[in-house]
A = this chain, B = another copy of it.
Amino acid sequence: MSSEHLESYLSGRWVRGEGVETQLVDPVKGDELATASTKGVDLKAALEFARTQGQGGLRTMSYAERGKLVGALADVLIANRARYEDIAIANSGNTKTDAAIDIDGGIGTLKYYARLGAGLGDARMLLDEKPVRLAKAENYQAIHLMMPRRGVAIHINAFNFPSWGLWEKAAVSLLAGVPVLAKPASSTALLAHAMVKDVIAAKVLPDGALSLLCGGAGDLLDGLTSDDVIAFTGSADTARRVRGHAGVVAKSVPVNIEADSINAALLAPGSAPASAAFDAFVREVVREITVKAGQKCTAIRRIFVTADQADAVADALAAKLKGTKVGDPRQADTRMGPVVTRGQQAAAFDGIRRLASEAVIVCGGADAPELDGIDSNRSAFVAPTLLKLADAGAAAVHEVEVFGPAATIVPYRDEADAVALVARGGGSLVASVYGEDQAFLARMVRAIGPSHGRLLMVDPSIASAHTGHGIVMPQCNHGGPGRAGAGEELGGLYGLRFYHQRLAVQGSSDLLASLETTAASLH
């Protein structure tokens, strides 16, 4: 792959920014793959093009028609899938499994929302609630509709899912009729760029329905109006800048945030080694540490087990982590690749050192591993790292997110202690609980539920059937309170709400009936 300068697709054409703002680098070999810049690009004009041309094309369509567009996106990606895997391996250091989660996750989400669109049929608005009486007169009532917004959706995506992040947001937005201006994280933008290039070349979308910004966001947010929305996935620091942006605040631009998160997995008390719950727990924790080299916002960071089982769990996890082949994902036996950049590697090492101030390192650590045929001065590898808390009063484990292949065992005394410790994460995307006692699982849902956006409760009957702690299913809510950003994405039809305005219509029963029959039910 020779280095190319990534153009942005804005105002209906490919445009080139001046100079080089970002280098995209292979995190195994250290070679430059591409450069990006948005300097000198007219972002205000791009927004206006999306708002007029993009809206114009999408607004007149029904949900079913837009669902077909979303399905057509999936078809284009499926037709070009082989190339995407190579890009994901080169630019993100993905294994084939990692690449599949990103690429097929995006395609699957598009197909899912295409099906939902078909189910909504010929309607152009959604019915949220049927008529309710408001006064004595029976013919004066109210209904609640959801009306597609009239602006453009700014999608700011994270570096870890250049494909899935792009399409899971675009699928929902386009189905709702809201054109998309997507900004992938610069460091791994090669895959998003290639995919959008194929989609544009295939001419499956109306003009202006999809724009792509490769490089820095520049003054993008300054150009937003109150018709627009922002969906952001990334770090808490950048999330703060987006949500607190003066123009965004002043114009009440709706903002959905998915930020980092100190997710938990918890093994029920009394789950003996080799029991179904114990094995399911260990298998899932190892998967979460190693898949995508731990670079999932949903990945398990805290491993809760009763104090008397901490050593048994540490042994079982360490055995599997030490046996995980780390290296160049181009080699068939590699099970875990590098993190995406040397900057991310340095940040992960820094985090591991902070955790290690309160915990012992069971395996891995804060130094670049020595790997056959890999130049540690040019690559971005982090060894699978397990820590175990020494001090029950530790704070860092609940505050420091290592965005890499690292997690910490946190021993707990009893159920109440476990609940209190889980809550110290300050709100997260997902927690999973493993146990055989259904009453315990039900109690945990009630006790830890309000701090999370999703719970995976694993009893032996689904130990091998479940979809995984870290895998985001389009049917399920994705987002969490507090530290996780207090956002809500996906979750089936519910995800469409963010791109709609909720509207009470008060009027005569006749009028409301005529509106109701032309709206598709959200429920």
Contacts and interface: CB of A to CB of B under 8 A. Distances in A.
11 contacts: A239-B252, A243-B249, A253-B486, A254-B486, A449-B505, A454-B505, A456-B506, A457-B505, A462-B507, A462-B508, A477-B504
B450 A148 contact: yes
Going nearest first, the 5 A-B pairs with the smallest beta carbon separation are A226-B482, A137-B465, A457-B507, A476-B504, A252-B486
Interface of A: 124-125, 128-129, 132, 134-137, 139-140, 142, 144-145, 147-150, 225-227, 236, 239-240, 243-244, 246, 249-254, 257, 259, 426-427, 438, 441-442, 445-446, 449-459, 461-462, 465-467, 473, 475-477, 479, 481-486, 488, 491-492, 494, 501-508, 510-511, 514-515, 523
A124 B446 contact: yes
B150 A450 contact: yes
B459 A506 contact: no
Given A124-B446, A507-B462, A511-B442, A491 B502 contact: yes
Contacts of A510: 438, 459, 461
B450 A501 contact: yes
A439 to B, nearest CB: 8
Contacts of A145: 445, 449
Contacts of A483: 226, 252
A262 to B, nearest CB: 13
Nearest to A481: B501
Contact of A125 (B254, B446, B465, B505): B446
Given A129-B492, A250-B240, A449 B503 contact: yes
A459 B503 contact: no
A198 to B, nearest CB: 29
Contact of A467 (B227, B481, B505, B506): B506
A458 B140 CA distance: 10
Contacts of A491: 129, 144, 502, 504
B240 A134 contact: no
Contacts of A134: 467, 473, 475-476
A244 B494 CA distance: 27
A511 B441 contact: yes
Contacts of A501: 449-453, 481
B132 A492 contact: yes
A484 to B, nearest CB: 8
A476 B506 contact: yes
Given A147-B450, A523-B523, A142 B473 contact: yes
B243 A505 contact: no
A510 B436 CA distance: 12
Given A483-B252, A511-B457, A149 B450 contact: yes
Contacts of A139: 461-462, 465
Contact of A455 (B249, B257, B488, B504): B504
A503 B430 CA distance: 9
A503 B462 contact: no
A244 B254 contact: no
A455 B503 contact: yes
A377 B485 CA distance: 51
Contacts of A441: 507, 511
A252 B485 contact: yes
A392 B78 CA distance: 53
B450 A135 contact: no
B257 A481 contact: no
Given A251-B482, A446-B124, A502-B477, A466 B140 contact: yes
Contacts of A456: 506-507
A505 B226 contact: no
A462 B137 contact: yes
Contacts of A252: 239, 243, 257, 259, 427, 481-486
Nearest to A139: B461
A184 to B, nearest CB: 23
Contacts of A492: 129, 132
Contacts of A452: 501, 503
Contact of A226 (B462, B486, B507, B515): B486
A119 to B, nearest CB: 13
Contacts of A473: 134, 142, 506
A502 to B, nearest CB: 5
A267 to B, nearest CB: 16
- A134, A145, A257 interface centre (most CB from chain B within 10 Å): A134
